[in-house]
Amino acid sequence: MTPAPLTGAKILLTGVTGQVAGPLARNLVAAGNTVYGTSRFADADSRAKVEADGVIPVAIDLETASFDEIPDGLDYVINMAVAKSNNFDRDLAANAEGVALLIERVKGVKAFFHCSSCAVYEPNGHVSHVETDDLGDNHRAMGFMTTYSISKIAAESAVKYASKRFGVPAVIARLDVPYGPGHGWPQMMVTLAQMGIPTTISADAPNTHCFLHDRDIFGSLPYLLEQAAIPAPIYNWCAPELVSIEEWTAELTNLTGVEIPLVVSEQCIPPNPVDPSKLLGLGWTPTVEWREGFREMAQNCFPDLFKG
């Protein structure tokens, strides 16, 4: 059964200056919601940019649990914020402790949506992960994301605890590879290749992952919010298409003419195929095929290179 459209709601969206939350905020505003977007807002430009999108800026700090500006009477909280300082004390304080304290602050909302990551899974070769698979640290090998997987795992536990403790229905969505017209891993690969920087891949080819386009992030959200409960259920959050880095690199080159060097290295994200059957079972169907999404991204981000 299709859930009611998400409209006319008061929504707190954390991490609004991020690449994923920014487009989501604009879609939520366009759908007729009142969106309070949170960040530290250390400079006036970031606040002005959020306001230009029709979002009401709210300064918070998850690391220090500074929540004075959060309004009352919220319907939903969508937590897209993530700290990636590579300092475990700071990142666990923000991503786990801070999220639990945020749930306490907003108790009374209809649902708390927590964006986790498929980086929480123990590498499993080419077997697609389901939600009950073992957890592990699959990002440490990258060298510049040493706290990411572990703090994401800790955050899930914090959400489960706080949901029970404060009676807040919650849902946890493990996002795989997000992208859209203006952002994403593929876009970064082209940009880095133009600077002579290769993309590292595993020797265990093919290096498969699953994407989720901005429009499908927004479109699937009502289905997931409807599942918010105590205890909080967990869903893989991606489209079902398994796409390898090798395959999508060739497509990026076709679209832009940029040759993207791939270098086998242990310092890489391993193959991470994901099974979203549980999400699809809610009745949601993705609308953006990955090649269509890549074409849109290439035309938007690299208009001078785009080959049509």
The pLDDT score that the predictor gives to residue 16 is: 97
Q: Is 1 a domain residue? A: no
Quick check: 141 pLDDT over 80? Answer: no
Provide the sign of the torsion angle of the four alpha carbons 128, 134, 140, 141, taken in this order: negative
Strand, helix or coil at 93? helix
Element (H, E) at 112: strand 111-117
> Is 84 contained in some domain?
yes
Cα 219 from Cα 238, distance rounded (Å): 12
What pLDDT, in 10s, does the model give residues 52-85?
999 999 999 999 999 999 999 999 999 999 999 9
Asked, as a colleague might, if the bond just before 231 is cis with ω within 30 of 0, I would say yes
Residue 170 belongs to a domain: yes
Q: Which domain range does residue 104 map to?
A: 10-180+209-242+273-288
Give CA–CA dist 155/151, Å, rounded: 6
**Total-model pTM:** 0.97
Answer yes or no: is 28 within a domain: yes
Residue 156 pLDDT more than 90?
yes
**Domain harbouring 76, CATH code:** 3.40.50.720
Structural domain total, the chain: 1
Does residue 14 fall inside a structural domain? yes
C-alpha R_g of the chain: 19
Does residue 307 lie within any of the structural domains? no
pLDDT of residue 300 exceeding 80, the answer is yes
pLDDT of 144 reads 67
Q: Give percent of the chain with pLDDT exceeding 70.
A: 99
Q: Among residues 67, 79, 297, 285, which one has the least CA distance to residue 189?
A: 297
Higher pLDDT, 32 or 2: 32
For the cut 90, the answer to whether the pLDDT of residue 43 exceeds it is no
pLDDT digits (tens, 9 = 90+) for 88-122: 999 999 999 999 999 999 999 999 999 999 999 99
Residue 247, domain member (yes or no): no
Using the predicted structure, report yes or no on whether residue 139 has a pLDDT greater than 90.
no
- Asked whether the predicted pLDDT for residue 195 surpasses 80, the reply is yes
Tell whether the model's pLDDT for residue 308 goes beyond 80: no
Residue 202 covered by a domain? no
Q: pLDDT over 90 for what percent of the chain?
A: 93
